[in-house]
Structure 1
Amino acid sequence: MTLTLRTLAHDELRPFQRLVDSAFLQDSREELLERWRGLFEPERHHAVFDGDEMIGGGGIQTRAITVPGNGPQPVAAVTSVGVKPGHRRRGVLTRVMTAQLHGLHEESREALAVLWSSEAGIYGRYGYGMAAEFTRLSVPRGAAFRAGVVTGDERVREVPVDEAMPVMQALYERARPGRTGWLSRTDAHWAHQFADEEHDRDGLTAYRYVLHSRGYAVYRVKHDWPDRGPRGELHVRELVAETDEAYAALYRYLLDLDHIGEVKFFTASDDPVVHLLEDSRSALRSRCDSLWARVVDVDRALPLRRYPSDVDAVLDVHDAFCPWNEGRWRLTVEGGEASVRRVADEPDVAVDVRALGAAFLGGARLTALARGQQVREFTPGALNRLSHAFLGDREPHCPEVF
């Protein structure tokens, strides 16, 4: 039977939810429907049908992402992409990706798309590059800070969620413009990220909320009480601080809680806690991909961010999936601001569009991507200059899966 694709209607949230649950081999929970409803933009969700059966689909959340040097900018946050078991290898995902990316271009919507990938090998063929990583951090309870670390005299306190949430939202909004990779959040996004029903906890406790006047932390506990005494795991959900002192104070609070053996956190790759500790090796760290980015339109996307150094280079962009990007573009950066125009000049650098996505948030060096054969230099010295221009002041980090 011929497959068809279309956007969804408001009353199709339930079958779409069931589709996504099926694709990820999860049990559907009807009580989660209202939670999904606040995130559902039907006109930005596509589904593929085999006859009357919805067999695949994906959506976009309309959000903003903080980019290097230029604060929040519009982004298409791609979400809920899946194909039902038994319908894979039929081109369903390709049809969804085509509808999303070609639609963004044709409608002059967001020039950048981002997503989390369930498997790292999926989205490169659609032009997404690995733009950010997170660190799995584990620190033993009571780990000492080095001499000279300032935590201040302010009391850190635990409060109920109703008291914590408005303070957290205000702190997050103040911090977000300077944190590359952070996303805007509506009330629905906040409710989704901190959902705390029993089935959200995966065997851990309810969330606990910690406030400082310049920051907050949210955590759960996995209890473990062997014969030699309690060795629970404290799992940090989010830690936000406006000052270095507040950051250290919140970490100190978490590390000193009783009944805990380890503090665990999926955190930014440049989390400074390792530099706060007296014994840096006590912080065990491993890295994994998080945010993947896709440059939808080269000429509209690259000027969205600012650049730390001036550069003038002709890029020969390869983009088979979005052919309007294919060809030569002159990127000129003056005073941090970029302009991009199509040219017929000889290229200084050839670059796969995946590499542009990977480098866009400043977390991946184009020189490293060149060693991975995604970038090739023609003009000596051009790659180093271009790579430096794409760097950011800090590692990009997305603190939420969407």
Structure 2
Amino acid sequence: MVETPHGDEPLTIRTLTDADLPAFSEVLASAFLIDPSEEFLVEERTVFEPSRSHAVFDGGTMIGTGQLLSRRVVLPGGGPAPAGAVTSIGVAPGQRRRGVLSLIMRAQLELLHEAGESLAILWASEGGIYGRFGYGLGTQVTRVALPRGARFRRDVAVDPAPVRELPRERALPLIRDLYDQVWHTRAGHLDRTGAAWEYHLFDGQERRHGQTGYRFAVHPQAYAVYRAKPDWQERGPRSTVNVHTLAATTPAAYAAILRYLLDIDLVGEVVLRLGADEPLVHMLADPRAAVRTTVDGLWVRLVEVDRALMARRFLVPLDLVLEVGDELCPWNAGRWRLAAGPDGRAEVTRTDAPADLALDVSTLGAAFLGGTRLSTLAGAGRVRECRPGALARASLAFLHDEEPSCLELF
């Protein structure tokens, strides 16, 4: 147990047990301004890992929560690597500005460090919170809204196999098999265990927001899970199809599942969440038919700089010294020599040699998955070039042949 002084009584933080879940759920619900409920408790139970969960207490009262899920994330050019998926971060109303969040974030980083896990990832409820804890914006998500019937270019191949709507129990084995075929092919994608699938497709009333339950459209090589929001207007139906998740094993199957969604009757608009470089817009006869809004996606934190960098692959050979700043994880701070060979594999070692680039750990996290150029971050004043030419080479080396993408909330 860790203590920090505050007023007359210290705040305390500890690892949780199964018995703490009801209180954990209540604090989390109140922090997110929803009513505690049995349904919310059941949803949290699907992925609750007490040994990787923390709570802050004021006396005997729980006032803050946080959890690390055990997931794997695909790295550029490399295989899936273990990652602590940060979730269930909440501070009870009336308890903010007391250092509760800082206690939780520090405890999570120490747990991952002691376990030898090199990465932490999260989705931010507010974009201004997590940079100060060393997280960098690693991927982006684009909301794409399309009118029903939006046409493809003539040269788009659409797989002719039929798309069928199936009940959940019949669809799940098929879509799990399809996901297993594709998830490891894109940096940023996550593995999905049974518990993760249960959470990903949890279909309680509180998640629906006036929409239908999940509907499952399945093609032999693709699938989409969506909800419909009915809307009957004086000029006719203008319902909205909100696509929750979509995957395909071939470009033609991708086109087939999209064509199915765009041609559903009684619909005015189809809304999807896509990665930064999804091909959809380039398939359209009129690209302006897609109204796009881009927001932050997955945030990345390097807990062990050397091990994290050695787990991914680099696009071109590279030999340079990084000077990394990291206030929360002092074992990361200092100079590291990164030497990547023609095969993309790198050795990362401590060095006293002069730095070629200087940056903090959140900036390194932003570039880590290959979705944000170091040169872009330098333009924002977040990378300092100490040796002329080092920035251009490093910026290229950190890229990958595809943009990273993570569309799964956890």
TM category (shorter chain) comes to over 0.9
For residues 23-81 of structure 1, give each alpha carbon's deviation from its aligned partner in whole angstroms, at most 9, with x where no partner exists: 11111112332332231111111111100000112010001011111121111101101
Alignment map for 1:254-269 (pairs within 5 Å):
254-269=261-276
Residue 341 (structure 1) shift: 0.3
Which of these residues, 77, 86, 89, is aligned with residue 81 of structure 1?
A: 89
Which of these residues, 318, 330, 343, is aligned with residue 325 of structure 2?
A: 318
Which amino acid letter does the alignment assign opposite residue 280 of structure 1? P
- Hey, what does 1:366 align to over in structure 2? 374
Which of these residues, 181, 192, 214, is aligned with residue 174 of structure 1?
A: 181
Alignment map for 1:279-294 (pairs within 5 Å):
279-294=286-301
Residue 182 (structure 1) shift: 1.4
Residue 352 (structure 1) shift: 1.1
Which of these residues, 229, 245, 259, is aligned with residue 252 of structure 1?
A: 259
Which amino acid letter does the alignment assign opposite residue 175 of structure 1? V
3-state SS of the aligned residue for 2:237? coil
Q: Tell me how far apart the structure 2 counterparts of residues 152 and 117 of structure 1 sit (CA, whole Å).
A: 37
- Hey, what does 1:44 align to over in structure 2? 52
Residue 152 (structure 1) shift: 2.3
Alignment map for 1:2-401 (pairs within 5 Å):
2-108=10-116, 110-334=117-341, 335-401=343-409
Residue 197 (structure 1) shift: 2.6
Which amino acid letter does the alignment assign opposite residue 67 of structure 1? L
For residues 278-303 of structure 1, give each alpha carbon's deviation from its aligned partner in whole angstroms, at most 9, with x where no partner exists: 00111111100011000001111101
| Runs (5+) with no aligned partner, structure 2 | 1-8
Q: Tell me how far apart the structure 1 counterparts of residues 150 and 56 of structure 2 sit (CA, whole Å).
A: 52
- Does the 8 Å CA contact 1:312/1:331 hold for their aligned counterparts? yes
Q: Tell me how far apart the structure 1 counterparts of residues 328 and 387 of structure 2 sit (CA, whole Å).
A: 27
Residue 191 (structure 1) shift: 1.5
What is the number of residues matched between the two proteins? 401
* Displaced runs of 4 or more, over 3 A: none
3-state SS of the aligned residue for 2:354? coil
Q: Tell me how far apart the structure 1 counterparts of residues 130 and 158 of structure 2 sit (CA, whole Å).
A: 43
Q: Tell me how far apart the structure 1 counterparts of residues 126 and 40 of structure 2 sit (CA, whole Å).
A: 25
Q: Tell me how far apart the structure 2 counterparts of residues 147 and 373 of structure 1 sit (CA, whole Å).
A: 45
Q: Tell me how far apart the structure 2 counterparts of residues 32 and 125 of structure 1 sit (CA, whole Å).
A: 30
- Does the 8 Å CA contact 1:209/1:219 hold for their aligned counterparts? yes
Q: Give the % identical residues.
A: 51
Q: Tell me how far apart the structure 1 counterparts of residues 111 and 258 of structure 2 sit (CA, whole Å).
A: 44
For residues 254-305 of structure 1, give each alpha carbon's deviation from its aligned partner in whole angstroms, at most 9, with x where no partner exists: 1111111111011112121111100011111110001100000111110111
Query: For residues 399 and 90 of structure 1, do their structure 2 counterparts lie closer, same or farther at Cα, with a shift above 3 Å needed?
Result: same
After superposing the two structures, state which structure 1 stretch, 189-198 or 121-130, moved more. 189-198
- Output the aligned Cα RMSD: 1.0
- Does the 8 Å CA contact 1:311/1:332 hold for their aligned counterparts? yes
After superposing the two structures, state which structure 1 stretch, 290-299 or 264-273, moved more. 264-273
Which amino acid letter does the alignment assign opposite residue 97 of structure 2? R
Q: Tell me how far apart the structure 1 counterparts of residues 280 and 137 of structure 2 sit (CA, whole Å).
A: 24
Q: Tell me how far apart the structure 1 counterparts of residues 263 and 41 of structure 2 sit (CA, whole Å).
A: 39
Q: Tell me how far apart the structure 2 counterparts of residues 17 and 152 of structure 1 sit (CA, whole Å).
A: 45
Which amino acid letter does the alignment assign opposite residue 354 of structure 2? E
Q: Tell me how far apart the structure 2 counterparts of residues 149 and 107 of structure 1 sit (CA, whole Å).
A: 48
Q: Tell me how far apart the structure 2 counterparts of residues 90 and 203 of structure 1 sit (CA, whole Å).
A: 37
| Runs (5+) with no aligned partner, structure 1 | none
Which amino acid letter does the alignment assign opposite residue 93 of structure 1? L
Which amino acid letter does the alignment assign opposite residue 109 of structure 2? L
Residue 195 (structure 1) shift: 1.6
Q: Tell me how far apart the structure 2 counterparts of residues 246 and 30 of structure 1 sit (CA, whole Å).
A: 39
3-state SS of the aligned residue for 2:400? coil
3-state SS of the aligned residue for 2:331? helix
Q: TM-score, structure 1 length as denominator?
A: 0.98
After superposing the two structures, state which structure 1 stretch, 190-199 or 271-280, moved more. 190-199
Which amino acid letter does the alignment assign opposite residue 294 of structure 1? R
Q: Tell me how far apart the structure 2 counterparts of residues 35 and 20 of structure 1 sit (CA, whole Å).
A: 12
Residue 96 (structure 1) shift: 0.7
For residues 192-251 of structure 1, give each alpha carbon's deviation from its aligned partner in whole angstroms, at most 9, with x where no partner exists: 111223222110111111111111011111111111111111111111001000000110
- Does the 8 Å CA contact 1:35/1:188 hold for their aligned counterparts? no
Q: Tell me how far apart the structure 1 counterparts of residues 120 and 195 of structure 2 sit (CA, whole Å).
A: 20
Q: Tell me how far apart the structure 2 counterparts of residues 32 and 351 of structure 1 sit (CA, whole Å).
A: 41
Q: Tell me how far apart the structure 2 counterparts of residues 163 and 31 of structure 1 sit (CA, whole Å).
A: 24
